[in-house]
Amino acid sequence: MKLKKSLANLIEWERICRVGTVSKTGMPHVVPVCHVVDRGKIYFASENDALKIRHLCANPQLALTVDLYSDAWSNLKGVMVQGPTKLVGKGPRFRRIRNLLYRKYPQYPHYSAIGDADSVIVELAPKHAFSWGVE
């Protein structure tokens, strides 16, 4: 599924999103991540041994949300995207996405470097999207 431009823009422009995974026993796990959108897919990095990565190895389905809160509830906006994931390890694709993350978040290399040996990039291919307040 191709995301509508307004949804892709909302996701790309926001600085943080939340991703939800589930364990083999059905226990949900939700964490904030820094992300980028590229060629219709959403990417974020993680350490190889993070709980979300272990969950994705067992069940590659992921839910991601980006939302904008406002005390004027008529201005609330957000999007939830669901779909399958792939893990991207070291190599040219890994380095290309890492460079996109480093450009969007210049503090990344200094405070939480994405290393070839200890990190992985998660690729989310949107399959379903639900939005509110976005034209």
Task: State the pLDDT confidence band at 80, using cuts at 50, 70 and 90.
Answer: very high
Q: What is the pTM of this model?
A: 0.93
| pLDDT, mean of residues 40-56 | 95
What's the CA gap between 85 and 91, in Å, rounded?
A: 18
Name the domain count of the chain. Answer: 1
Determine the pLDDT at residue 40.
93
Determine the pLDDT at residue 135.
77
| pLDDT, mean of residues 3-23 | 93
Determine the pLDDT at residue 110.
80
Tokens 């823009």 correspond to 9
15 pLDDT exceeds 80?
Answer: yes
Determine the pLDDT at residue 1.
84
Nearest to 108 by CA among 24, 26, 15: 15
Cα 109 to its chain centre, rounded Å, is: 18
Domain limits at 120? Answer: 5-132
CATH number of the domain where residue 27 is located: 2.30.110.10
**Does residue 125 or residue 109 have the better pLDDT?**
125
Within 10 angstroms of residue 119's Cβ, the number of other Cβ atoms is 20
**Averaged pLDDT of the chain:** 93
Task: State the pLDDT confidence band at 109, using cuts at 50, 70 and 90.
Answer: confident
112 pLDDT exceeds 90?
Answer: no
111 pLDDT exceeds 90?
Answer: no
Determine the pLDDT at residue 117.
84
Are 43 and 97 in contact by the 8 Å Cβ rule? The answer is yes
